[in-house]
Structure 1
Amino acid sequence: MSSLSTVLLEALMPWRNAKAWLVAFSGGLDSTVLLHLLAQLRQTHSLPPLTAVHVHHGLQAEADAWPSHCQVLCDALNVPLQVVRVQVQVGASLERAARDARYQAFTAATGAQAVLLTGQHRDDQAETLLFRLLRGAGVSGLAAMPRQRPLGGGHLFRPLLDVSRAQLEAYAHEHNLSWIEDPSNTHTRFSRNYLRHEVVPLLTRRWPQAAASIARSAAHCAEAQGLLEELARQDLRHAGGASEFSWLELPSLAFAPLVSLSPARQRNALRHWLTAFGQLPDTDHWAGWDALRDARDDAQPVWGLADGELHRAGGRIWWLSGNWLRAPDAPLCWNQPDLPLTLPDNGQLRLVGDIPHGPLQVGYRQGGEVMELAGRGHRDLKRLLNERGVPLFARGRLPLLYRNEQLLAVANLERLDSGPCGRWQLQWMPTSSDQGLS
């Protein structure tokens, strides 16, 4: 067994019980060697079922011949081939658009307990770190490509990150393998290609082990990032816990434990937390967190981000996105109050207990509402909401129950959500599908 086979088999040991192995097969050198190695290994070892997946971008005329080339090699190795044709949304970066389309296809192809294997190697890792360094990336970015990560219903794994391109070329020549040379890989107008053809060779002439050293630095950064994530989870546990308004079903954190941390730890914890909700802010945008944190309690601070907003209210910070950023439609007639009422873009409302008589309507706060309370007479709704500390962002979405223009109840607020005798209760289940969770 070749040294590369030994390295590959050892790297894949944790994934031997996977339901299936998929190989991201472009037909280039890296994926060709990876597929050939796996086909050879399965002759002497028990491995999961193996399938090659070729993504056809159709960005250049030469690409139309590549699926046939891949099919010939797969037939020779007795490996099934799946060809996926994608449309690339061309924008500012063709490289990024093609990559996004490719990984969308891989995500769809990777089922439960399956592992997608890609052929990126040590030289690719070094290029990735340099590219991100030039973009001013932090520790997470400088960790470059992770060896493994969740993908689709399974995982993505890069088993060749410790192998150089020279080793792959030597193996390919030894086994008389043929592979596709993508003409676009020589175009130095693309940033990655410029690094590959102009910068890395220059560095290597001065420092022969440059690629290996740079890739090793990426591994150090990956370890440091792991420690930062561990610290973030620890800090977020202290800032977690249920809110008295947990029925809002919004992600939130206690404000005091978070701001007791150093500014660097605050940002680290928030990065970890915000990752679940969409695109993270860049360095310049973190000034928005400082402004939200340092604002007066009555200033209603909001930090606008790419995929939503961070609000500070009631001693907590809250993540709002989707329908929470739009005013709900009202008023609504509740013609069948014995059945739940679906509120457009605002969840569902129901009455529990003895249904009050009369024509019922549902509205939202406009200002100036007055409510009659047993033993307290008429009370201004704004004052009642202030007494209960209802977050300002939620007040305009709280369903209000009316009968003949008389405000009967405010959903979910104790002693305001029922009739004078407590024989019924107004319950609101906010929408839980628009939190922006990814």
Structure 2
Amino acid sequence: MADIEQQFTKALQQADSRMDIRRWVIGLSGGLDSMVLLALAAKVLPADQIVVLHVDHQLQIRSSQWRDFCQRQAQQRNLSYHSVSVTVDASASLERAARDARYRAFEEFLNVGDCLLLAHHSNDQAETMLYRLLRGAGLRGLSGIPVTRTVGAGRLLRPLLQRNRAELQNWADQNHLDWIDDPSNLDPTFDRNFLRHQVMPLLESRWPGFVGRWQRTAEYMSDADQLLDELAAIDLSHIATKFTALDLNLLSELSLSRQHNLLRFWIARQGGGRISRQQLAVVFSDVIAAQPGSSPELQLGERLLRRYRNNLYLTVASEAGIEWPVLPLTEEGVSLSQGELQVEVADSGLKTLAGVVIRSRREGDRCRPAGRGGSCPLKKLFQEKNIPPWLRAQWPVCVVGDEIVAVPGICICEGWQSEKNVSGFVLKWRSAALSASGESGTL
């Protein structure tokens, strides 16, 4: 039993050394596992750093009694206590909907410097792996429950994941803990309960100790999944363009497996979520392999996958209707819903900001790029710079009176460039129409 306490303490010390934790938030349901978690935390952590958080799903008649029980347990240990009531979407899978509601509550509660402790153990890990295997999960799914990950502004940690339920039961009995038994945990109509009470005991009777072995398998899977992400990051560094798009010519030089791996990684990194094998097939057939000259699009969550000039883009929803208000340009730059215009002092650039204002691009706009020898339409400049059409409508234009003096990231106009050996202002444009999840290719 001392081994559980030592392992628990070590896990918390390692987490604290990595992220300088200000508050330890205990996710307390009142069940056996979470009560062990609470008792261990109260034993090894300062009371003023602990916050007990109970999420009331309001699915059971006695849920208010469980909430009161959790509050008493916190008060007996002189710990801060918070309860959050959530509404579970009854039209969806109840298990998934309850989990989603619970994690939304966690995300809203956690602040920077918070570490949320949850009481999952190795039996939960084995159940999760088997459940996902039956649903046809890939390598990431079969990695099981992660020991730690980000949740909202904070961090989640499962310090008991290496221990099994029998060990937690023994520790609870020896420390005379009280806990709640949720009757819904016995209902075999729920998939996890069916696995827990009917399938897992059968497997254990045939292969004793398999839960611990599956925990090690989950760790192997997690290592392999991390290696695939590292490979994807290497491939991305060679294939990504200045707009964090993918160059499809370079992508095609990779093996098909590496193409799949990179696309999954890139889409997730850009905010498109983890896509399934079926969705990946649609990406290839409907977007990448679409007819040359077409402009295919595919919705992926809140992102839009687009192809332009043999590059692949993942953007937020188009906001073509948003226009720039006429604003003076200063050294502080400008940040609006369209994006961010940064101003930096450099060896060369726009010679002055005096009288310069920002406006939206207009139909028929022309300017005289420095060194080009004559005027040309902005449309042609955008085409030459391979700026995708959906980005052009929101591009800022810098003017003095009716004269265009600069197009950020595109050109400084004739007569407005700084003189040799005289500092000027470099204008960098970061469009919000590109994914907010990564570097947007500042110009």
Q: Deviations over 1:63-88 (max 9, x none)?
A: 11012211232333333322222333
1:327 aligns with 2:330: no
How far apart are the structure 2 equivalents of 1:41 and 1:384?
64
Asked if 1:258 is matched to 2:233, the reply is no
Instruction: Give me the whole-angstrom Cα distance separating, in 2, the residues matched to 1:240 and 1:189.
Output: 47
Q: How does 1:281-300 map to 2 (within 5 A)?
A: 281-291=275-285, 292-295=287-290, 297-300=292-295
Instruction: Output the CA distance in 2 between the equivalents of 1:327 and 1:272.
Output: 28
Q: CA deviation at 1:382?
A: 5.2
CA positional deviation for 1:165: 0.9
1:229-308 → structure 2 map (5 Å cutoff): 229-240=229-240, 243=242, 250-276=243-269, 277-291=271-285, 292-295=287-290, 297-308=292-303
State the shift of 1:60 in Å.
1.8
Distance 1:47 1:258, change over 3 A: farther
Partner of 2:84, secondary structure, is strand
Q: Secondary structure of 2:92's match?
A: coil
User: Which among 34, 38, 48 is matched to residue 37 of structure 2?
Assistant: 34
Matching residue of 2:441: none
Question: Offset of 1:364 from its aligned partner?
Answer: 4.5
Contact 2:186-2:193 within 8 A present in 1 as well: yes
Instruction: Give the letter aligned to residue 277 of structure 2.
Output: T
Amino acid at match of 1:137: A
TM-score by length of structure 2 reads 0.79
- Counterparts of residues 99-178 of structure 1 (less than 5 Å): 99-178=99-178
Structure-2 separation of matches of 1:98 and 1:348: 38
Structure 2: distance between partners of 1:53 and 1:59:
18
Q: CA deviation at 1:234?
A: 1.7
Q: Does 1:222 align with 2:215?
A: no
**SS of alignment partner, residue 23 of structure 1:** strand
Q: CA deviation at 1:299?
A: 3.2
Q: Which residue of 1 aligns with 2:421?
A: none
Contact 1:348 1:429 in 2 (8 A): yes
Q: SS at the partner of 1:97?
A: helix
- Given that 2:325 and 2:360 are in contact with CA atoms closer than 8 Å, whether structure 1 keeps it comes out as yes
Aligned amino acid, residue 206 of structure 2: R
SS of equivalent to 1:58: coil
Q: 1:188 to 1:370 in 2, by over 3 A?
A: same
Output the TM-score relative to the length of structure 1: 0.79
1:157 CA drift (Å): 0.9
Letter in 1 for 2:99: R
Structure 1 residue aligned with 2:304? 309
The answer for unaligned runs of 5 or more in structure 1 is 244-249
The answer on whether the counterparts of 2:360 and 2:394 sit within 8 Å (CA) in structure 1 is no
1 CA distance for matches of 2:113 and 2:367?
58
Structure 2: 5+ residue runs without aligned partners? 344-349, 419-424, 439-443
The alpha-carbon distance between structure 1 residues 205 and 47, as it changes in their structure 2 partners (threshold 3 A), is same
* Counterparts of 1:414 and 1:429, CA distance in 2: 9
The 3-state SS of whatever aligns with 1:26 is coil
RMSD: 3.9
**1: CA distance, partners of 2:274 / 2:184:** 31
- Taking the aligned partners of 1:41 and 1:414, their CA distance within structure 2 comes to 59
How far the C-alpha of 1:225 sits from its partner, in A, is: 0.9
Return the alpha-carbon distance in structure 1 between the equivalents of residues 73 and 356 of structure 2. Answer: 74
Render the CA deviation track for 1:312-349: whole Å, top value 9, x for unaligned.
33554322113xx243256x895x77899999953578
